[in-house]
C-alpha cells in the first residue's frame, strides 16, 4: 500500500486530537471533581445521579419545613408556659380571684382588683393575637387576620327559667360592666328595665325608645343601655327584681354585659351544607366529622323512599344509598349525615364542606406535622358559627376569655360569690393551657427525632451520590500524567514526520 503525505498528515492530526481530547476530558474532571460532567460520560450513572439529587432536594424541603415548624412551636412554647406566658397570667388571676372571694374585702377593694384584671384581659388579647414571621399563629388558615377581637359577652342571673336556652348577642362597647335589671315581669319586649354602669351604685331607667322589637331580624328584641346593647329572643320571659335589694341572688332578672373576646379564625368543629341550584332546603346542615368535601345528589323521591348518591372525589365516582322519607331527612355520607328539614326533590345537589384549621407541613416522605394550635381551643371566648351565622359561646370547660370576663364582672359589681365561682373555671383553663403546652412539647420532640433521622438519610444519600459521580483524584492525577506523556510523544513524533520534504529522499 502506498502511504501518501495526506494519509500521514491525517493520521498524525487524528492522533493528536485523540490524545488532546483525552487530556481535555481529564482536565475537566480535575476542575469539577466529577467523573460525570455530561450524560454521555455515563448514561446509567447520570440517571442515578439525577435521582439522588432529586432526593436530596426533597430532603432540603423537609429541612426547611422542620425549621419553620420549629419556629412556630417555639413561639407557642413561649406563649403558653414561658416568662410572662398564659400560665403566669393564670397564676395571677387565681391569686386575685382568691383575694376577691375573701369576706374581708370591700367593694372598693374588688374595684381595685378589677383594674388589674382588665389589664390581664388586655394582655390575653395580645397573646391570642401573637404572630410568627408575619403570620397570626392562632387563626388557623386565616394567618393574615388576628385570631381575636375584644367584645362584650353576656351573663344572666334569673330566678325563673324564662331565659334558659335563649340566644343572646351584644352590640356596642363598655369600659365597665353594664348591669341591666328587669323592673317588671313579662315578655322581654314589653318589660321595663334600668341599668347601671358603675357596679350598681347608681341606676338609670331604660326608655321605651331604647327597646327595639324585631331587631336585627324578626323575633329579636334589642335593649340599649348607654353605649352597649343586648339582643335576645322576643317573647323571652323576664322577672322583676326588688330594686330595694342590692343582691342579685334569687332576685329577678339581671343581665351583665362584660368583657369577652370573639374568635375570628378557622375551626375544626363545624361543617357547612350548601344547596346548589333550586330547592327548599336552604337551611341544610351536616353533623359528624368530615375529612373532606362530600357531594350529595338526590336521585329520586317516591314519597316513601329517598334514593341518593354521594361522592368524596369531586364527582369522579359515586356511591348510591337509600333512606326513608321523614322530617327531618338524614342522609348518610362518609363522616356523618346531611340533615334536611324537608324532603328533597330529585335533582337537588348539596355539598358538605368541613372546616379544617390545621396548618400541616410535610417532614418526611410519608408523614407531616401539624404546626399550629387553634385559638378557639386554647382561649375559648365566643365565635360566629360559620354554619349558622350566629354568635355562640365556645362550649367547653376552661373557656379562658369567658372565665376572665365573668371574673371582671364579679369584681366590678362587688360579687364575692362570683369571684369564688371563677376559681374552678380558672383551674380548668389552666388544665387546657397545660394540655396544649404538652401537645406542643410532643411535637417539638418529634421534630427533633425527625431532624436527626433526616440528617442521617441526607448523609447516606450524599455518600451515594458521591460514589456515583465523584472522581477518584489519585487515579485521575495518574491518568492525567500518562495522558500528558502520550500527548507530548504524539507532538514530538508528529513534528519529526511532518517536517520531512521531498529533499529528504534525494
First-to-last C-alpha distance (Å) of the chain: 22
Taken in order 313, 318, 322, 328, the sign of the CA dihedral is positive
Surface-to-core class of residue 141, CB atoms within 10 Å of its CB (0-12 exposed, 13-18 middle, 19+ buried)? middle
pLDDT tens across 153-181, in order?
A: 999 999 887 788 888 999 999 999 999 99
The three three-digit cell numbers of residue 395, written as one number: 362550649
* Residue 42 confidence (pLDDT): 58
* Residue 241 confidence (pLDDT): 95
Q: For 470, which DSSP code?
A: B
* Residue 162 confidence (pLDDT): 79
Q: Quote the CA–CA distance of 166 and 38 in Å, as a whole number.
A: 76
| Percent of the chain whose predicted confidence (pLDDT) is above 70 | 82
* Residue 494 confidence (pLDDT): 64
pLDDT tens across 339-349, in order?
A: 888 888 888 89
Q: Does position 483 have pLDDT exceeding 90, yes or no? A: no
Residue keyed to cell 444519600: 461
Determine which of 84-88, 257-261, 386-390, 465-469 has the lowest per-residue pLDDT on average: 465-469
Confidence of residue 3 (pLDDT cuts 50, 70, 90): low
Q: Quote the CA–CA distance of 223 and 213 in Å, as a whole number.
A: 9
pLDDT tens across 144-159, in order?
A: 999 999 999 999 999 8
Q: Does position 1 have pLDDT exceeding 50, yes or no? A: no
Listed residue (358, 339, 320, 345) closest to 272, CA to CA:
339
Pairwise pLDDT comparison (39 vs 324), residue with the higher score? 324
Cis geometry, peptide bond prior to residue 216 (ω within 30 degrees of 0)? yes
| Percent of the chain whose predicted confidence (pLDDT) is above 90 | 55
- Mean pLDDT value of segment 431-452: 94
Q: Quote the CA–CA distance of 265 and 356 in Å, as a whole number.
A: 11
* Residue 395 confidence (pLDDT): 82
The three three-digit cell numbers of residue 506, written as one number: 534525494
Q: Does position 235 have pLDDT exceeding 70, yes or no? A: yes
Confidence of residue 97 (pLDDT cuts 50, 70, 90): very high
Taken in order 101, 107, 109, 114, the sign of the CA dihedral is positive
Q: Quote the CA–CA distance of 188 and 206 in Å, as a whole number.
A: 13
- Mean pLDDT value of segment 326-334: 87
User: Cα 362 to the chain's mean position, in Å?
Assistant: 15
* Residue 326 confidence (pLDDT): 85
Give rounded-to-5 percent helix, strand, coil for the chain: 40, 25, 35
251 contacts 240 by C-beta, under 8 angstroms: no
Q: Does position 232 have pLDDT exceeding 80, yes or no? A: yes
Amino acid at each position: 500500500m502506498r502511504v501518501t503525505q495526506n494519509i500521514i498528515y491525517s493520521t498524525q492530526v487524528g492522533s493528536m486530537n485523540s490524545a488532546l481530547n483525552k487530556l481535555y476530558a481529564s482536565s475537566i474532571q480535575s476542575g469539577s471533581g466529577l467523573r460525570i460532567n455530561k450524560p454521555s460520560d455515563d448514561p446509567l450513572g447520570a440517571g442515578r445521579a439525577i435521582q439522588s439529587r432529586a432526593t436530596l432536594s426533597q430532603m432540603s424541603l423537609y429541612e426547611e419545613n422542620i425549621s419553620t415548624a420549629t419556629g412556630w412551636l417555639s413561639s407557642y412554647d413561649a406563649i403558653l408556659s414561658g416568662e410572662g406566658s398564659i400560665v403566669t397570667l393564670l397564676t395571677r388571676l387565681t391569686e386575685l380571684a382568691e383575694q376577691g372571694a375573701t369576706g374581708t374585702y370591700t367593694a372598693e377593694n374588688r374595684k381595685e382588683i378589677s383594674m388589674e384584671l382588665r389589664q390581664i384581659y388586655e394582655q390575653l388579647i395580645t397573646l391570642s393575637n401573637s404572630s410568627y414571621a408575619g403570620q397570626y399563629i392562632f387563626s388557623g388558615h386565616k394567618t393574615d387576620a388576628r385570631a381575636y377581637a375584644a367584645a362584650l359577652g353576656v351573663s344572666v342571673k334569673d330566678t325563673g327559667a324564662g331565659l334558659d336556652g335563649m340566644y343572646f348577642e351584644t352590640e356596642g362597647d363598655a369600659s365597665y360592666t353594664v348591669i341591666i335589671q328587669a323592673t317588671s315581669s313579662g315578655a322581654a319586649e314589653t318589660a321595663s328595665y334600668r341599668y347601671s354602669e358603675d357596679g350598681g351604685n347608681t341606676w338609670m331607667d331604660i326608655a321605651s325608645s331604647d327597646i327595639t322589637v324585631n331587631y336585627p331580624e324578626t323575633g329579636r328584641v334589642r335593649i340599649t343601655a348607654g353605649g352597649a346593647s343586648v339582643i335576645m329572643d322576643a317573647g323571652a320571659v323576664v322577672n322583676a327584681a326588688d330594686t330595694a335589694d342590692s343582691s342579685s341572688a334569687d332576685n329577678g332578672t339581671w343581665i351583665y354585659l362584660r368583657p369577652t373576646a370573639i374568635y375570628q379564625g378557622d375551626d375544626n368543629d363545624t361543617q357547612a351544607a350548601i344547596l346548589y341550584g333550586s330547592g327548599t332546603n336552604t337551611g341544610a346542615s351536616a353533623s359528624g366529622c368530615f375529612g373532606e368535601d362530600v357531594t350529595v345528589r338526590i336521585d329520586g323521591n317516591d314519597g316513601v323512599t329517598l334514593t341518593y348518591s354521594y361522592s368524596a372525589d369531586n364527582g369522579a365516582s359515586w356511591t348510591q344509598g337509600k333512606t326513608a322519607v321523614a322530617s327531618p331527612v338524614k342522609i348518610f355520607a362518609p363522616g356523618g349525615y346531611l340533615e334536611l328539614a324537608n324532603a328533597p326533590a330529585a335533582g337537588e345537589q348539596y355539598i358538605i364542606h368541613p372546616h379544617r384549621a390545621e396548618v400541616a407541613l410535610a417532614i418526611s416522605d410519608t408523614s407531616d406535622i401539624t404546626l399550629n394550635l387553634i385559638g378557639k381551643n386554647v382561649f375559648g371566648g365566643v365565635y360566629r358559627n360559620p354554619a349558622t351565622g350566629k354568635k355562640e359561646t365556645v362550649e367547653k370547660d376552661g373557656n379562658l376569655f369567658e372565665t376572665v370576663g365573668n371574673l371582671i364582672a364579679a369584681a366590678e359589681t362587688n360579687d364575692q360569690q362570683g369571684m369564688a365561682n371563677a376559681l374552678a373555671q380558672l383551674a380548668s383553663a389552666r388544665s387546657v393551657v397545660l394540655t396544649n403546652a404538652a401537645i406542643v412539647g410532643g411535637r417539638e420532640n418529634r421534630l427533633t427525632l425527625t431532624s436527626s433521622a433526616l440528617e442521617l438519610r441526607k448523609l447516606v444519600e450524599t455518600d451515594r451520590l458521591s460514589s456515583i459521580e465523584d472522581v477518584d483524584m489519585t487515579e485521575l492525577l495518574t491518568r492525567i500524567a500518562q495522558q500528558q506523556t502520550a500527548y507530548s510523544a504524539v507532538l514530538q513524533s508528529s513534528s519529526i514526520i511532518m517536517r520531512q520534504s521531498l529533499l529528504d529522499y534525494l
